[in-house]
Amino acid sequence: MTTRTINLPPTAFSATVRVPGDKSLSHRALICSAMAEGRSEVLGAGPGGDIASTRRVLAALGVELDGASVVSKGVAGWRRPEAVLDCGNSGTTMRLMAGALAAQSFTATLIGDASLNRRPMRRLVPPLEALGARIEVDEDGSPPVTVGGSGPLAGASTSVGIASAQVRSAFELAAVQASGPSEIDSPGGFRDHTERWLEHFGLGRRLTPTRFAVSPGAIPAARYEVPGDPSSAAFVWTLAALRRGSEVTTPDISLNPGRIGFLQIIEGFGAEVEAEVTGTVHGDPVGTVTVRGRGLFGTDVSGELAVAALDELPLVAVLGALGEGVTRVRDARELRSKESDRIVSTVDMIRALGGGAEALEDGFVVIGTGFLDPGEVDSAHDHRIAMAAAVAAAGVDGDVRIQDATIAGISWPGFYEQVEALWS
């Protein structure tokens, strides 16, 4: 395991940064292309390990992937895989592929690495079984996930108790293959990328902000231009917000409402934010974001805002520790089932750097002192913790050492070099 040392200058910076292609959209573009018959193009897909996992799984099903090109016989022409399908560290690969595979006449088994093999998969079972699919998970609800072999799916109406885009997408990617119409509802705040694309392709309709109707039909071959990832941009937005006088511009970022809760949060901390929509990708907004540092105060995050900033909450802890006042995050119990238990790993990260943080059942409290101390952070094999610790180094007079630092490559290979280059 590599330990990396980060030491960032105490000065302001000004930069324009192009961040890697959006992870959520890259998974969806590759899977939708693979479900379509013919040749699709996925331009600007994320370069990280999770997207490599989706590519590997699709290739094992007979889909031809070569650079941006995806050629497929369509989902009905996928071949029975010769071995279990390894999703690596990627929960999105496992959950979306479980839905995409649910109507197959063959069975397929999805596994992951040690971290993914501990994550909850039972949440997939009721919505996919409602469609008539066969799906099995381990006794304790974790992977392996075995799907398929049920015969044709029927349309169904379902309601899911958690605001999970992955579960909704799994249902929707199965439901387009059913013999009749379907509907899904859940609490709000989730990223609705899949819904927007299905609606754009004429395969679905939004009934209320959370209720979505799926019409069966073939996803067409298409050209996808994947915008930058707001969950990656959030690291450089935070670096700008942390230092009065800093400014960062990130062009061509996904501005899906379920992705940009963090911008509202950093405004709450006192940063200046400008976001301008410049276009759409199949109905999903894309634009330019500029963040300027103006001093930091504590803030509270709860409800749908916590869902719409879920992957960015470790950064909220860093901002809270380096601001003035108390920061509270609630309604974020889902953090417990991410790549690590992110309530524990976030609190541990702040404490390892001498900050004051307390875990709550569904979130955390951080006491802002305006600075952190040099120290060594265990990434808990979680890319977002490793990267948040590197950002925290901006508030430390000295070194931050990050254990298992290369895990950042799951979403952003070259991240540390990019951060260090902001001041050059």
Active-site residue list: 311
When the beta carbons of 169 and 327 are compared against ligand S3P, the nearer one is 169
Residue whose beta carbon is closest to ligand S3P: 24
165 lies in the site for ligand S3P, by CB under 6 A? yes
Using the rule CB under 6 A, is 311 a contact of ligand S3P? Answer: yes
The one-character DSSP state at 273 is: E
Q: Does 51 bind ligand S3P (CB under 6 A)?
A: no
Quick one: how far is CA 143 from the chain centroid? Answer: 19
Give the residue from 237, 169, 178, 227 showing the smallest Cα distance to 198.
169
Tokens representing residue 211 in the block:
């209720």
Question: 28 vs 401, which CB is nearer to ligand S3P?
Answer: 28
Q: Within 348-377, which residues bind ligand S3P (CB under 6 A)?
A: none
Comparison of 191 and 381: residue with beta carbon closer to ligand S3P: 191
Give the shortest CB-76-to-ligand S3P separation in angstroms.
24
Give DSSP secondary structure letters for 170-211: HHHHHHTTSSS-EEEE--S----HHHHHHHHTTSEEESSSS-
In angstroms, the CA 358 to CA 360 distance is 7
Beta bridge partners of 40: 70
> Looking at beta carbons only, is 304 or 352 nearer to ligand S3P?
304
DSSP 5-64: EE---SS--EEE-PPPBPHHHHHHHHHHHHHSEEEEEEET---SHHHHHHHHHHHHTT-E
Regarding 166 and contact with ligand S3P (CB under 6 A), the answer is: yes
Closer residue to ligand S3P in complex, CB, 164/182? 164
Nearer to ligand S3P, 141 or 398 (CB): 141
Which residues in 191-215 are b (16+ Cβ under 10 Å) and which e? bbbbbbbbbebebbeeeeebebbbb
Segment contacting ligand S3P (CB under 6 A): 13-21, 160-168, 264-272, 322-330? 160-168
Q: Does 24 bind ligand S3P (CB under 6 A)?
A: yes
Q: Closest distance between ligand S3P and the C-beta of residue 158, in Å?
A: 15
Minimum distance of ligand S3P from residue 164's CB (angstroms): 4
Q: Which stretch binds ligand S3P (CB under 6 A): 103-111, 159-167, 316-324, 390-398?
A: 159-167
Selection from 202, 182, 186 nearest residue 304 by Cα: 186
Question: How far apart are the C-alpha atoms of 382 and 389, rounded to whole Å?
Answer: 11
CB of 311 to ligand S3P, least distance (A): 5
Strand-strand pairing, 212-214 and 204-206: antiparallel
**366 touches 357 (CB < 8 A):** yes
Q: Total residues at the site for ligand S3P (CB under 6 A)?
A: 10
Per CB under 6 A, 115 contacts ligand S3P: no
Query: Given CA atoms 310, 312, 316, 321 in this order, what sign does their dihedral have?
Result: positive
Contacts (CB under 6 A) with ligand S3P, residues 200-239: none
- Asked if 30 interacts with ligand S3P (CB under 6 A), we say no
Binder among 89, 92, 246, 418 for ligand S3P (CB under 6 A): 92
Starting at the edge strand that comes first in sequence, how are the strands of the sheet with 375-378 ordered? 4-6, 400-403, 375-378
Q: Which residues bind ligand S3P (CB under 6 A)?
A: 24, 92, 164-166, 169, 191, 310-311, 334
